[in-house]
Chain A
C-alpha cells in the first residue's frame, strides 16, 4: 500500500462519514518499505493538485518524515526538483507493509497485512447500516431516493 493511498481513505463506519476527525486516518505501528521507482516529474506534478495537503502533513509528521512544506507548493515552488523528488519518494515509493490505520473519530483500527488494509467492519458496526437500509427499502419503495419525481 503506497502512502498516497491514505489521502483517499476515510473511516468505513457510516456514522463517521460526516465527522471531520475521521480524516485522515492515523497510522499505528506502521512498518514501511521502500520500493524504488523511476522518478517522473510530470507524474508527481499531476498528482500534487489532487493531494489534500493538510492530511499529507499530518501523515508525514506521524510517520516521522519532517520535510513537508506548510502549504501546497504552487508556481515556482513546483520547479524545485529536490522537493518533487522527496514527494515522489514519500507518496509513491514508500509502502506500508504491516500496521494499523486508526479513525480519529470512533477509534476503530483497521489492520494492514502484507500491504493490504482490511476495511471490513465487525458485524456490530457494519450491520446497523445494512439492516436500516433494507428495512427502509422494503417498507416503502415509493420513498426510495432513486424514484423519479
Chain B
C-alpha cells in the first residue's frame, strides 16, 4: 500500500496507463469514479508525475460520451429536438476550474432531469396551485460553478411554471460561491434578453414570460448548516459521491483566503491547494455516502411542508437502498409521509456509468383523512 500523491488515500500501486477499452477494464476500488470525476484534472497531473505509483488506470471517455457533453454545452437557446424542448445551458466561461468542479455528465443529468417533460409537469403541478402561493425558495448545496442553480432559476417559468423564484447557494469553497453568483446573474440576464427579443419579434398578443427570479445570496458553508428550519422549497444536491478511503477536512478560513494571494505561491503549493479543493468535489468517504448521509439527515429539518429535494447518487451509493430508507423515515406532526422516487438516470452508458437522481418529498393525505 502506498500513499497516493493525489488523493492522499492509500491504495494498491501500479503503472498508470491509459485505457481506451472501458468494457474490458475491471473497476479498481473506488478510483474509477475518482478518475471519472476529475478526469481532465488527472490527465494534466499525469504529466507531472515523478513517481508512477498513483492511480492505476486512466480512463478515456468514449467519443460518443464526449459529444453528448459537447452538445449540452452548446445549447445557448431553446431548441426543440424530437419534440422535446431543450432549455439553454447556463454559460460558465467566466469560471476558473482550478479549484471548482467543471460541469460534467452528472451536472448535465441534473439539467436534463429537471427539464424533462415529466419532471417539469410534476414540479409545475406542485408549485403552481390555482390560488396564489408564496415564492419558492430554492437552495443548491455544493453549487460548484453554479450551472444547476442558474439553470433552474433562469428557466423557472418552464420548469416550475413560476417566474418568482428566490435562489440560494452554498459551497465550502469561497471561489465557487463567487463563481455561482456570477453564473446565476448571467443566466437570468440572458433569459431576460431572450424573452425581450421574442417580445419584439412576436406578432401575437400573448405576453411572454418575463423572468423575475433572483439570486438572494451564495454562502460559504458546510452543507445547509446555516439554513433556517422548514424554509426551503426546492433543494438540489450533486454530492461528492466517489467512494474514497478517507474524507478531506473542511476548508478553514485560511484555505479559502489563500486564493486571493495565489501569485505568491510556488507551483507545488498552488497544485497542492487546487488538488485539495478538487478532492472536496468528489471524495465521498465510505460507499461515497458520508457527505450525502449528512445532507439526507438534514432534509427533514430544512424542507418546508411543500419542499422537494433532488439528490444525485451513483451506483456504488446503492440508490435503491437509499430510496427504501427515506420511505421509512418517521412522518412529521402534520401527518406528512416521506416519499422518494428515482426520477432521472444516465442509463448504462458505455457499460460503466450509472448515475441516478432521487426526488424526496412529503405527501399529505389531508382530504381523505376526514
Contact = CB atoms under 8 A, between A and B. Distances in A.
Interface stretch (B44-52, B251-259, B359-367): B251-259
A146 B253 contact: no
Interface string A114-146: 111111111100100000010001000000011
A7 B227 CA distance: 10
Interface of B is mostly: mixed
B227 A8 contact: yes
Interface residues of A, number: 42
A9 interface: yes
Given A8-B228, A23-B228, A147 B216 contact: no
A95 to B, nearest CB: 9
A118 B226 CA distance: 10
Interface string A5-44: 1011111100001000001000000000000010010110
Contacts of A123: 252
A133 B294 CA distance: 9
A114 B228 contact: no
Contact of A8 (B168, B252, B297): B168
Nearest to A138: B286
B228 A126 contact: no
B222 interface: yes
B325 interface: yes
Interface of B: 132-135, 137, 163-164, 166, 168, 170, 172, 174, 177-178, 181, 212, 214, 216-222, 225-229, 231, 250-253, 256, 293-294, 296-297, 301, 324-329
Interface of A: 1-2, 4-5, 7-12, 17, 23, 37, 40, 42-43, 45-47, 49-50, 92, 110-111, 114-123, 126, 133, 137, 145-149
